Amino acid sequence: MRPPGRSLGTPGDGSLLDLNLATLQLESVDLQSSRNNKEHHTQEMGVKRLTVRRGQPFHLRLSFSRPFQSQTDHITFVAETGPKPSELLGTRATFFLTLVRPGNVWSASDFTTDSNSLQVSLFTPANAVIGHYTLKIEISQGQGHSVAYLLGTFILLFNPWSAEDDVYLPSEILLQEYVMRDYGFVYKGHERFITSWPWNYGQFEEDIIDICFEILNKSLYYLKNPAKDCSQRNDVVYVCRVVSAMINSNDDNGVLQGNWGEDYSKGVSPLEWNGSVAILRQWSARGGQPVKYGQCWVFASVMCTVMRCLGVPTRVVSNFRSAHNVDRNLTIDTYYDRNAEMLSPQKRDKIWNFHVWNECWMIRKDLPPGYNGWQVLDPTPQQTSSGLFCCGPASVKAIREGDVHLAYDTPFVYAEVNADEVIWLLGDGQAQEILAHNTSSIGKEISTKMVGSDQRQSITSSYKYPEGSSEERAVFMKASRKMLGPQRASSPFLDLLESRDLRNQPVQLQLHLARMPEWGQDLQLLLCIRRVPDSTHPWRPIALVVRFCAQALLHGGGTRKPLWRHTVRLNLDFGKETQWPLLLPYSNYKNKLTDEKLIRVSGIAEVEEIGRSMLVLKDVSLEPPHLSIEVSERAEVGKALRVHITLTNNLMVALSSCMMVLEGSGLVNGQIAKNLGTLVAGHTLQIQLDLYPTKAGSRQLQVLISSNEVKEIKGYKDIFVTAAGAP
């Protein structure tokens, strides 16, 4: 039976019969998600829904009730995002079917017809707002009324593959590392004992993209003015600052609550996270309640997940001996008493053993030319920026050149890697003597994961010129003048510094480890002493008293109360070298350390004849037991993969309440947790289990075993998974 309104005749023959064509009705739409997602590098997120990147065409197939007639059938496309879509705000776009794409604007072009179907290419501009979109068409004939149809929804992301996008990164190798790789490493510990910490970013797990936009929609900017906030999501600088503020929860219902104490009983210790996915899912499932707890490496790793998911090239960076310079004077003061005990700081300034932040790659159109590329973003809540706890983006190039006047938060990041350290001897509540003025002790071994490798890469030279070089000091003075004004000819301690020569010391002191330190063993150190000529006592023997103190070193640079003291008295002839053994028993530090197992051994040496004091320091990192992870056969999607995990307790004490957690995108759905009980000293634990990989390609299995005694026994295994049925 002929549909009503359909007239006889040949459509398009120029006769009056054309006026009576049946109304064009949409019968079905194919968003071609599988093809489009693959072309847009989003297939890892799944192919059930359309996820595309801006500045790149994607394809649709529309099926109608009759053949499409381009002369008489008029189709208007409407794309909308946000709560109050507006063409003025850039959250609504209306565009028509054209033969040729008109440029960097919303368009529908390059269409072909086949029977009752229309194949069309849609293009989104490279500066479009990112977000969840609805896509509709309005069909009209001639001057008649139009009928609207919903085609479906799609997600639009930043596009680092597009030369027109502000996040364009012109290297496929770098794109694979900084956008597509869903695992990596965080570098922790101490500048001399750097440990790699495997992390599961998991940015392509199917629900993570929705959680990322949920984070944006819970920001204070969105809650204050949703339409304006959405309209600014075309700007990567704006989006980065919002995410930086939302990863912490100091101002809002952000993702993570920080905890730098030692009581994690109301949540999870920051050391016990393996990856970002569990954190983000918990935050979302609980309606946006902050997850307990995070510290810098957790904040930065979660932000890396969010930014890579949104399409911004991102990496995690660790800065060892990182300054927190609250008063912006580019100087961090630390204090010791005559018994070599490190004292609590007089100000809020501190030196973190390490601090972790992010770098995101982007063009900085808001800055003068020359500051594009890597930008520092720091979601750890250290100080406010424009009223919120966020930091960056600060151009790494601007930091290296001392251009601290450039946005955002560049002075703060510059101080983190360049501040001077002044160590004071404190007596009777007063600073009595300067023990050291270190111009190169801050900002050491700035590190990130090497591209295409599990190795660590030092990127210190990206942040500053070589320590002690004329360029480095010139940049330091340039930054000092900008931060403190032209009067910065001196700071309070410089007169004292210039009044005496800190290098003119009668004795050279060094502390060395006599053997590799292991947790659960006595520590053996050597004090190496050499008598050298000085202006006061050039050739005469001198009497020396060295008072030692050992303290647990906290992540934030502070210390606990002393756990060991010792005094050495010596007489030294000119030119004589002496080695003095020191023993720090396990019983002294057994229950006194933090989870990070770091000890600072300090010594204050006094030359009795002249009352001069000298400082000698040694930080010791105690190695936890090591995990071994092996797989017995080739990994294939959907096929059982046998994993062997071995842990030998080489400590002098049992490890109690052992808990194992496995994680790894494409290998494990969520997490696998297993209670292992107690591992007796000297015994070995062997675990076998089967995994069923769900995704092909390079994957990483992360394993964490925590106990009451040692919180962070971590291991990982890189696994290449072949597609199902691959030869």
214 is annotated as contributing to ligand binding: no
Give the integer Cα–Cα distance in Å for 82 and 92.
9
Give the integer Cα–Cα distance in Å for 114 and 110.
14
Q: How many CB atoms lie within 10 A of CB 48?
A: 10
Which of 212, 230, 240, 296 does the annotation list as catalytic? 296
Which of 18, 333, 349, 378 does the annotation list as catalytic? 378
Which of 41, 74, 190, 355 does the annotation list as catalytic? 355
Whether residue 443 contacts residue 321, with contact meaning beta carbons closer than 8 Å, is answered with: yes
What one-character DSSP code corresponds to residue 633? S
Helix (H, G, I), strand (E, B) or coil at 40: coil
Please give the sequence-ordered ranges of beta strands (E in DSSP) within 57-192, or none if there are none: 58-64, 73-81, 92-96, 107-114, 117-123, 131-141, 147-157, 183-190
User: Would you call 296 a catalytic residue per the annotation?
Assistant: yes
Q: What are the residues facing 714 on neighbouring strands? A: 704
* H or E stretch covering 191: none
467 is annotated as contributing to ligand binding: yes
* H or E stretch covering 269: none
Three-class SS string for 523-559? EEEEEEEEECCCCCCCCCCEEEEEEEEEEEECCCCCE
How far is CA 725 from each of CA 666, 689, 693, rounded to the nearest angstrom?
A: 17, 22, 13
Give the integer Cα–Cα distance in Å for 136 and 120.
14
**Is the omega angle on the peptide bond into residue 408 within 30 degrees of 0, that is, cis?**
yes
Order of strands across the sheet with 117-123? Answer: 26-30, 58-64, 117-123, 107-114
Cα 528 off chain centre by: 40
CA-closest candidate to residue 392, choices 410, 411, 371:
410
What one-character DSSP code corresponds to residue 333? E
Query: Half-sphere exposure (CA, 13 Å, Cβ side) for 293?
Result: 15
Give the integer Cα–Cα distance in Å for 603 and 566.
9
Within 8 A by CB and 6+ apart from 442, the residues are 321, 322, 323, 332, 351, 416, 417, 418, 419, 420, 421
Give the integer Cα–Cα distance in Å for 9 and 567.
110
Give the integer Cα–Cα distance in Å for 235 and 237.
5
Three-class SS string for 368-427? CCCCCEEEEECCCCCCCECCECCCCCEEHHHHHHCCCCCCCCHHHHHHHHHCEEEEEEEE
User: Would you call 549 a catalytic residue per the annotation?
Assistant: no
263 is annotated as contributing to ligand binding: no
Residue 643: left if φ>0, alpha if ψ -120 to 50, beta else—which one? Answer: beta
Q: How many residues does the chain have?
A: 727
Q: Strand 697-706 to strand 713-722: parallel, antiparallel, or no bridges (unpaired)?
A: antiparallel
110 is annotated as contributing to ligand binding: no
CA-closest candidate to residue 118, choices 11, 10, 53, 25:
25
Name the packing angle between helices 208-217 and 296-310 (round to 10°): 100
User: Would you call 355 a catalytic residue per the annotation?
Assistant: yes
Give the integer Cα–Cα distance in Å for 521 and 651.
7
Please give the sequence-ordered ranges of beta strands (E in DSSP) within 410-481, or none if there are none: 420-427, 430-438, 444-449, 456-458
Binding residues for Ca(2+): 418, 420, 467, 472
Binding residues: 418, 420, 467, 472
Question: What residues are labeled active site?
Answer: 296, 355, 378
